[in-house]
Amino acid sequence: MTEAAVVTASTERPVPKGWRWVRLGTVIIGSQPGFASGDRDPQGTVQIRMNNVDTDGSWVWDQLTRVPTNSDTVRRFRIEAGDVLFNNTNSTELVGKSAVFTAFSEPVVYSNHFTRLRVQPSELDSRFLGSWLRLLWKERFFERICNRWIGQSAVKADKLLNLEIPLPPVTEQRRISDLLENSFGAIQRMQAAAEAQLETVTVLAARCISAAFGSQMNCEWEVRTIGDQLKDGTLIAHQDGNHGEFYPRASEFVQSGVRFITAKQLLADGRIDFQSAPCLTPARAQELRIGHGLGQDVLLAHNATVGRVGIVPPNCPQFVIGTSVTAFRPDHSRLDPLFLFFALQAPRFQQQLIDFMKQSTRNQVPITRQRELSLPVPPISEQRTLATRLMKQTAHTHAMKITVAEQLEAIRLLSAAVLRRAFNGEL
């Protein structure tokens, strides 16, 4: 299929009675790409950048870029109420996001990453156009027609203007736009409430751990450094992955085999994403000097996402770790793995990591320095009791989080469903 066919294929679909397919370029006064500016001026004109337009068609005004301009530049590139800004250049997944301008407290211009579309009011309602572009973005249409380069993608002006939009009479467009505004207002309120609930549930698990390792630990529990626990056998092993010449090269990774776990695989909720990890052949994994993991090892990210913790399931297949991860292997008769998993997440230990990083120029806590950090070691019976209680509490909050996340995703999909109904003439 040719590019021209791609952008005009919409005319093959029927439209409601009284509607017509119209080429976008015929119902706008003009399209104007913005201008690039690498200069900054604290007293200059606000220039809209990619971060100022959200994917839901709203404006983000908390981070403004000001650039030097003159009267001619402002005249040519000023955004007026009713203008639609189309994000012509961005990452592949974001290219094509759009927003309808309403007002700002001062003149606003826009960068070359946008194209300004100014409609013919007698033919096209700008809000109707903005909603239609948003639907195309949600359906990943622009992702399919964009030109791609390394690091960015673009929708060229001729492709944009050749798009055919289904148009009812302009009075009907305005009626639909009013309905969509009301619907999106309700959806945004639902989304904000769900996002707040998700944040509450996320914090709840951390609060459970914080409470468990609070004053009781400070007053009653023995606290020893990781180095001392390694010396007396409380920890059987405390190791990271292979460094330098022993680190596997990219060409050595294969589709299946022994999983190679890095900090990327340690998720924020304490799980380890084995499925996304690259693999080494069993023979190559066996050659590695260190970093061979076992079931019930506790993993700590000490580079990149410092502080994330995961516990390896029992009877886990063989795996190896990279240099960004530390594996703790406790003596189960003296240090319960599940207790250790929670102790590494406790605020006191996490703060030790933060304090060390403040003293370093790099976002990491090497394994040698970790051995200076301390962990609580209460009696094993107390460890197991506390670990069991925390496991139940965090499992409950995790289930709640999944439920709320599913609700949030359904709300996000709702806006696309409403848009489809609008452009099928069902509102």
* CA 312 – CA 223 distance, rounded (Å): 24
- What is the total count of domains within the chain? 2
Q: With bands split at pLDDT 50, 70 and 90, how would you rate the model's confidence at 217?
A: low
Q: Are residues 233 and 139 in the same domain?
A: no
Angle at 168 between CA 84 and CA 177, to 5 degrees: 50
What confidence score (pLDDT) does residue 427 get? 84
For residue 157, give its domain range: 3-168
Q: Are residues 75 and 150 in the same domain?
A: yes
Final residue in a domain of this structure, among 168, 196, 213: 168
Q: With bands split at pLDDT 50, 70 and 90, how would you rate the model's confidence at 9?
A: very low
9-13, 62-66, 272-276, 288-292: lowest mean pLDDT where? 9-13
Mean pLDDT of 170-176: 96
Mean pLDDT of 376-399: 91
Positive or negative, the Cα torsion across 400, 403, 409, 411?
negative
What confidence score (pLDDT) does residue 401 get? 82
What confidence score (pLDDT) does residue 219 get? 65
Final residue in a domain of this structure, among 150, 168, 186: 168
Q: Are residues 12 and 95 in the same domain?
A: yes
Q: Are residues 16 and 131 in the same domain?
A: yes
Phi then psi for residue 193, to 5 deg, are -65, -40
The per-residue pLDDT for range 123-141, each reduced to its tens digit, is 999 999 999 999 999 999 9
Chain Cα centroid distance, residue 421 = 28
In a domain, 247, yes or no: yes
Final residue in a domain of this structure, among 105, 134, 168: 168
In a domain, 189, yes or no: no
H helices of 19-169, in order, are: 71-77, 126-138, 141-145, 157-162
In a domain, 207, yes or no: no
Q: Are residues 228 and 163 in the same domain?
A: no
Question: Exposed, middle or buried: residue 344 (CB in 10 Å: 0-12, 13-18, 19+)?
Answer: buried
Q: What is the DSSP letter of 283?
A: H
Is the pTM above the cut of 0.75?
Answer: no
Q: Are residues 232 and 371 in the same domain?
A: yes
In a domain, 191, yes or no: no
Q: Are residues 91 and 236 in the same domain?
A: no
In a domain, 193, yes or no: no
**Which of residues 6 and 368 earns the better pLDDT score?**
368
Assess whether pLDDT exceeds 80 at residue 3: no
What confidence score (pLDDT) does residue 409 get? 87
Average pLDDT taken over every residue of the chain: 90
Q: What is the CATH number of the domain that holds 329?
A: 3.90.220.20
Q: Are residues 122 and 44 in the same domain?
A: yes
Q: Are residues 70 and 158 in the same domain?
A: yes
Q: Are residues 17 and 157 in the same domain?
A: yes
70-79, 120-129, 237-246: lowest mean pLDDT where? 237-246
In a domain, 302, yes or no: yes
